[in-house]
Homo-oligomer: A and B are copies of this chain.
Amino acid sequence: MTTARPERADAARNRRKILDAAARVLTTQGAASLSLDAVAKEAGVGVGTVYRRFENRARLVYELIDENETRFQAEFATHADAPPRERLRAFLHGLAELADDNRELLLLAEASVPAGRYHSGPFRRHHEQVSQLLDALAPGADSAYLADLLLMAYTPGLLDFQREHRGWSLDRVTQGLDTLVDGIAATHSPGQLPS
């Protein structure tokens, strides 16, 4: 659809500079200091340039996360031969850990543009993966919708709220998701109907 022509060489160079600068600011000064002014200064470019490359703060943060995520995807690929239910579980558990590890960063992204998440690379990929697994597990179900809902479990603000205010551990979340998956499998059971 939106097949824009490739970035000019200087633009690509700046993109990298900004991403690297952001990572540096993040580790040295913490997420709270990750203002785009600060990033621009660290990268040695103007604020305008940052906004030209990244549209808004959330986009920059999601791109940052995206770069860290290849590791997770690779790891998940090792489960390729397990049955769908196990694969889905493994994926959802992995996602929980991922969300937990990056929670400060994700919270930041959500705070600046809440709906940005749905347009981000990671979300799109996760949605596709979960949809496919659901199709294998529960043919006939509305997998696209259910995938949306399952992924909502990883909304940074919710996870934070559950941890800080409800006092729940991450286990409670993954177990809740597991039983939900069982429920979905039960109503759309492919072959093994109750004996």
Q: A36: shortest Cβ distance to chain B, in Å?
A: 18
Other-chain contact of A145, B141, B165, B172 (Cβ < 8 Å):
B172
Q: A157-B118, A160-B115, A162-B148 are in contact. Are A180 and B176 (CB under 8 A)?
A: no
Q: A9: shortest Cβ distance to chain B, in Å?
A: 32
Choose the segment among A46-54, A59-67, A75-83, A181-189 that binds chain B (4+ C-beta atoms closer than 8 Å). Answer: A181-189
Interface of A is mostly: helix
The complex places the Cα of A142 from the Cα of B176 at a distance, in Å, of 7
The complex places the Cα of A4 from the Cα of B162 at a distance, in Å, of 25
| B residues less than 8 Å from A114 (CB atoms) | 110-111, 114, 156-157
Chain A interfacial residues counted at CB < 8 A: 38
Total copies of the chain: 2
A12 at the interface (CB under 8 A from B): no
Within A154-195, the residues touching B (CB, 8 Å) are 155-158, 160-162, 165-166, 168, 172-173, 175-176, 179-180, 182-184, 186-187
A90 at the interface (CB under 8 A from B): no
The complex places the Cα of A173 from the Cα of B142 at a distance, in Å, of 10
